[in-house]
Amino acid sequence: DAGVIQSPRHEVTEMGQEVTLRCKPISGHDYLFWYRQTMMRGLELLIYFNNNVPIDDSGMPEDRFSAKMPNASFSTLKIQPSEPRDSAVYFCASSYPSGGVTDTQYFGPGTRLTVL
């Protein structure tokens, strides 16, 4: 298996632009998570889905952030409009159907976002 796939790996954009991050979970996993990592705040859960349904989005910082999972093999995290403080590494992770949230979460390589 290729593991969790994220694209792009790096994104540099200007303030005010729309940014879309993409994730393909491991086939057969029914949980998908979006995290944000910064030096100041560490690794924070933004939102997670179970069977394509958002379960907890309490970590989404504000209305500029939105996430969708139209099918079991694809999810997007969108920031519109982007701001410099959104600069961070964004990780997607997925986990097994037989387990719960705390079972092994497989992380993707991350997308490093820089907003100028």
Which chain residues interact with another protein by CB under 8 A? 4, 42-45, 48, 55-56, 58-59, 91, 93, 100-105, 107-110
| Closer by beta carbon to another protein, 58 or else 71 | 58
CB of 115 to another protein, least distance (A): 20
Q: Token pair of 96, please?
A: 């097994």
Cα torsion 91, 63, 68, 108 to 10°: value is 0
Strands 111-115 and 88-95: antiparallel
Q: How far is the CB of 105 from another protein (least distance, A)?
A: 7
In this complex, which beta carbon is closest to another protein, that of residue 41 or of residue 70?
41
CB of 94 to another protein, least distance (A): 11
| Least CB distance to another protein at residue 107 (A) | 3
Q: Which is nearer to another protein, 74 or 107 (CB)?
A: 107
86 in Cβ contact with 113 (< 8 Å): yes
- HSE-CB at 95 with a 13 A cutoff on CA atoms is 14
Residue 63 region by backbone torsions, left for phi larger than 0, else alpha for psi between -120 and 50, else beta: alpha
Q: Which is nearer to another protein, 74 or 96 (CB)?
A: 96
